[in-house]
């Protein structure tokens, strides 16, 4: 499941540089996560780094993009061009 940033975001800029896939960017009003790039840090870290650094706890799982850990890992392999 990809993550999402809710409207509680305070635009503090700490999540964007933590994303190893470049999935986080500044949206019109708050930061946004591209679900096609978000792997919840599977393949990179044990926990999502954006969630770890967010001071207002506004990055939950996105119910619109349900993916298994295996699917997230496959996405990681595709994004990093690593063989499985």
The CATH number of 16-80, from 3.60.110.10, 3.30.70.20, 3.90.870.20, 3.30.460.80, is: 3.30.70.20
Would you kindly state where each structural domain of the chain is located, as residue ranges?
Answer: 16-80
pLDDT, tens digit (0-9, with 9 covering 90-100), for 22-71 = 999 999 999 999 999 999 999 999 999 999 999 999 999 999 999 999 99
pLDDT tops 80 at residue 84: no
Burial of 4 (0-12, 13-18, 19+ CB in 10 A): middle
């Amino acid at each position: 499941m990809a993550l999402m940033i809710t409207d509680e975001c305070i635009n503090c800029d700490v999540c964007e540089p933590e994303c190893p896939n470049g999935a986080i960017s500044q949206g019109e009003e708050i930061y946004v996560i591209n679900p096609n790039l978000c792997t919840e840090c599977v393949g990179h870290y044990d926990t999502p780094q954006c969630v770890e650094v967010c001071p207002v706890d506004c990055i939950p799982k996105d119910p619109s993009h349900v993916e298994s850990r295996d699917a997230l890992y496959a996405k990681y392999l595709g994004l990093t061009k690593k063989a499985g």
